[in-house]
Amino acid sequence: MQRSYRSFASRTPRYRVTPAYPASIFEPTVFSADDANDLNGHGFGLGPGVAVKAMGEYFERYAAFRAVTSRGMGKIAEMRLDPEEQDALVLALRQTCHDDVRDDIEAASFRLVEVNRLGEDRMALYPTLLLSLHSFDEQRDVRFAPVRDSSGSAIHPDKKTAFQGALLEFVERQCTTAMWVSRRCNAIEGLGAALKDRKARAIHDQMAMAGSLNVLDLSFLKGASVKFCEYKSQDPDALVNFSCGCSADFDPDAATAKAFTEAWQTSLLLPQMEFFGAREYGSTSLKDNFQAANRAGFELGVGVDPRAIGADGNDRNMETLVDSILSVSRNVYLYFRSIYVAGTKLHFCRVVSPDFFLHMSPGDHNNNDNRWIDLFCEKASRRLEPMPFS
């Protein structure tokens, strides 16, 4: 039976939470949180907390778009960065920038925010541009990095939990991009016993009747499990031919279940995309790329070629994951900001590094030459076309 939900609105910030169109979606549950400025978040899932997920994603985007505030201006030499850190930032910006500002990087004054170095107590300054999703329309800063969205971010009442969520999302996005560029994964698996929820198993059985479901293990960094779930229809005339989802977690079964939920979520979004506003998923071109994979015969073109980066051992926890990330580069930065919603203090965290991808999809205006992808493949073999599902 379809559940009946009522919409509700809140102030500070002003947003509303609404159930998905009941004529389109029954169980599982989908909620949307949005405001008058077309900023939105969605919650998808199988339990009673889906509306909270929608609000969480909305608050996260609210912070990323509107709450990353600059604390001054400065050149790269004035950011309290070590020489190696400065070189890494310049190398990344030389790849991401427009041609007309490439020679101005060292001399340019950027809007700056204060950041923590991952694994250290030392603070530094970093370009606001790389920590915010604000459009920066008509501002010169945006000429240096017009696209950027591979930074992991999260928001939570507990600061440590926000940091953990942001780091896991950073790892999820970096591993997904590495999979696409290098065409490799650690293993191809079935969902097996990972789906313990009754509703999840029922959805799995329904999707399996219409197509195939596989899970790619993308756990390239020791300390976390990263799973990518793909669905392919057996009917070339189906409304949804391909959908996918990815998740990182310390528990492999939890990562698989979340990735499956995202693949189901994508299968719902694809048929509805024509109704979404241009800003709903970033841009019209982003939606076009996303739809490009929704065709009969689409293949990821990924093969099994295992890669495990980091310290010895198989422990999955924050300490091991941080050590593994730092084994790739120590130039990893954390931005924290607190916001208040209805009297509740929320902690927003965002993770960025010039030695990993600054944008989730390779291609123009991305730092496609970086330490992270160097660990997977040579430059000549890299697939640098945009990911259709980023």
- What is the residue-wise DSSP string for 208-276? HHHEEEEEEE---BTTSEEEEEEEEES-TT-S-SEEEEEEEESSHHHHHHHHHHHHHHHHHHHHHGGGS
DSSP 387: P
Cα 177 to chain center, whole Å?
10
pLDDT of residue 213: 95
Task: In whole angstroms, give the CA distance from residue 166 to residue 160.
Answer: 10
Question: What CA–CA distance (Å, rounded) separates 142 from 75?
Answer: 15
- Measured between alpha carbons, how far is 381 from 174 in angstroms, rounded to an integer? 18
Domain residue ranges of the chain, discontinuous segments joined by +:
8-67, 183-304
The answer to whether residues 125 and 74 touch, using CB atoms and an 8 Å cutoff, is yes
- φ, ψ at 240 (rounded to 5°): -120, 115
Tell me the whole-structure pTM to 2 decimals: 0.89
Count of Cβ atoms closer than 10 Å to residue 236 Cβ: 9
Measured over the CA atoms of residue 382, residue 384, residue 385 and residue 390, the dihedral's sign is: positive
Taking the C-alpha atoms of residue 227 and residue 195, their distance in angstroms, rounded to an integer, is: 13
What pLDDT score was predicted for residue 23? 35
CA distance linking residue 212 with residue 2, whole number of Å: 27
pLDDT, position 268:
73
Q: What is the mean pLDDT of each run of 10 residues along the chain (390 residues)?
A: 37 56 46 62 70 78 85 96 98 96 96 96 95 75 83 93 97 97 96 85 89 96 97 90 94 95 80 55 64 87 96 88 97 95 90 95 92 97 88
274, 155 contact by CB (below 8 A) = no
Q: What is the pLDDT of residue 8?
A: 38
Distance CA 331, CA 81 (A): 10
User: Which tokens belong to 365?
Assistant: 């205006």
Residue 53: the pLDDT is 76
Tell me, what's the pLDDT at 375?
98
Q: What's the pLDDT tens digit per position in 50-104?
A: 777 777 788 888 888 888 889 899 999 999 999 999 999 999 999 999 999 999 9
DSSP letters, 52-76, are HHHHHHHHHHHIIIII-----EE-G
**Alpha helical stretches, state H, the chain:** 50-62, 83-96, 159-182, 198-210, 252-272, 284-292, 318-328, 371-374
Residues whose CB falls within 8 Å of the CB of residue 330, separated by 6 or more in sequence, listed in order? 117, 118, 119, 120
Q: Please state, in angstroms and as integers, the Cα–Cα distance from residue 134 to each residue in 23, 66, 115, 363, following that order.
A: 34, 7, 18, 21
Structure tokens at 301: 């073109």
User: CA 77 from chain center: how many Å?
Assistant: 30
Let me know if domain 183-304 sits in CATH 3.30.160.660.
yes
Longest dimension (CA), the chain: 63
Cα torsion angle, 320, 324, 326, 327, sign: positive
Q: What amino acid occupies position 252?
A: P
User: 180, 262, 164: which is closest to 218 by C-alpha?
Assistant: 180
Task: Give yes or no for a cis peptide into 362 (omega within 30° of 0).
Answer: no
307: CB partners within 8 A, 6+ apart: 184, 186, 220, 375, 376
